[in-house]
Amino acid sequence: MAELAITARGLTKQYGAVTALDGIDLAVSSGTVYALLGPNGAGKTTTINILTTLTRPTTGEATVCGHDVLRQADQVRACIGVTFQDIVLDPDLTGREVLDIHGRLYRQPGALRRRRLAELVELVQLGDAIDRRVRTYSGGMKRRLELARGLMTEPRVLFLDEPTQGLDPQNRVGIWGYIRELNRVRGLTLLLTTHYMDEAEALASQVGIVDRGRLVAEGTPGELVATLGADVIRVRGQGEQAHFVAEVARLPFVVRVETDAADAMVLVYVDSGSRRLVEVVGAASGNGFLVEDVTLARPSLGDVFLHHTGRALRD
């Protein structure tokens, strides 16, 4: 087992009567990309805030790079980079000043700052824009500048809170590319939060599904999906769902049946979708359930989320 870059045991956080975290355990190996996947308000940002020493947990403990986040906060701070959920940049400074001031806060010598700056401008492709004021940047450029700032001090662990929120598809794929490169080429450990399933699927070697302050499932995207069955037949329809669900559940090849009330959708997990499709749809006939739409797919992380929380994860 590789060395652990991040550990957490029993993290809880109370804000008055509100429970933001309800006991989170984490073990993230060095060199992995770990994605915390969950809806807004699930506790992802609170987890990042505790791991980056911004917030104290109500109970529980955590380490980053082997240092305790409470007792050795400065050692933790020195070995991590962070980008926050909101864009956190001074509009009146140039990109170069933002990076330079960041390096100075960490007491990087001038020669090192100039070298890092040149490397990072190259990596995130900011080019000549680096000498323009941040207020002239597009959303994608701001995100890229923030990523560069997080990397300025050559952290061992990088935390990214919703790194592509609000970006157009082209910029999202661009950020994904940088994240993959940082992990593969430089062996950087990344912990990112996201409420986009495709983002977790595209980037993460480990996914933790968070809901209402708890980690409800954890594993590689492949493992998480495999527990649900080989294929999923999604049946959307009108009328009496219960009979249909009971009928389908009785079929021998059905691994599991789930419903998503909000979408009037029934999800039937089977061993082999294309061979069982006809029988599944046939089960609907004559019991008051009118099938409107049927799709056949490999289960996704979205289905995993629905399975563990009883609710669909919406973007």
Partner 1 sequence: MYATFVIWNKHMTKFLRSTEELLGLALQSVLWVVLFGVGMRGMIAEVDGRDYMSYILPGIIALSALGGAVGGGMVLLDERLRGILKEYLAAPIPRLSILLGSATSTATKALIQATIMLVVGILMGARLAPNPLGWLASLLLIAIFAVGFSGLALAVAAVSRSIAGYHGMIFLFNLPLLFASNALYPLAVLPGWMLAIVLLNPTTYLIDAVRALAFGTEVTLPLPLSVAVVCLFAAGCTWLALRLFRRSISA
Q: Which residues bind partner 1 (CB under 8 A)?
A: 52-54, 56, 74-75, 77-78, 80, 82, 84, 86, 88-90, 92-93, 97, 101-102, 104-107, 149
Cα separation, 247 vs 196, in Å, equals 33
- Of 86 and 223, the one with the shorter C-beta distance to partner 1 is 86
Shortest CB 130 distance to partner 1, Å: 16
User: Which of 9, 63, 2 is closest to 31 using CA atoms?
Assistant: 2
- Of 155 and 213, the one with the shorter C-beta distance to partner 1 is 155
- Of 13 and 307, the one with the shorter C-beta distance to partner 1 is 13
Shortest CB 56 distance to partner 1, Å: 8
Residue type, 26: L
Shortest CB 314 distance to partner 1, Å: 26
Shortest CB 83 distance to partner 1, Å: 10
Sign of CA dihedral 58, 62, 223, 40: positive
Cα separation, 70 vs 62, in Å, equals 8
User: Helix, strand or coil for residue 1?
Assistant: coil
Shortest CB 89 distance to partner 1, Å: 8
Instruction: Give the CB-side neighbour count of residue 156, counting CA atoms within 13 A.
Output: 16
- Of 54 and 251, the one with the shorter C-beta distance to partner 1 is 54
Shortest CB 19 distance to partner 1, Å: 17
- Of 134 and 209, the one with the shorter C-beta distance to partner 1 is 134
User: Helix, strand or coil for residue 229?
Assistant: coil
The DSSP result for 104-164, as a single string, is HHTT--HHHHHHHHHHHHHHTT-GGGGGSBGGG--HHHHHHHHHHHHHTT--SEEEEESTT
Q: Which helix (H) or strand (E) holds 9?
A: strand 4-15
User: Which of 171, 111, 112 is closest to 147 using CA atoms?
Assistant: 171
- Of 82 and 217, the one with the shorter C-beta distance to partner 1 is 82
- Of 62 and 80, the one with the shorter C-beta distance to partner 1 is 80
Shortest CB 104 distance to partner 1, Å: 5
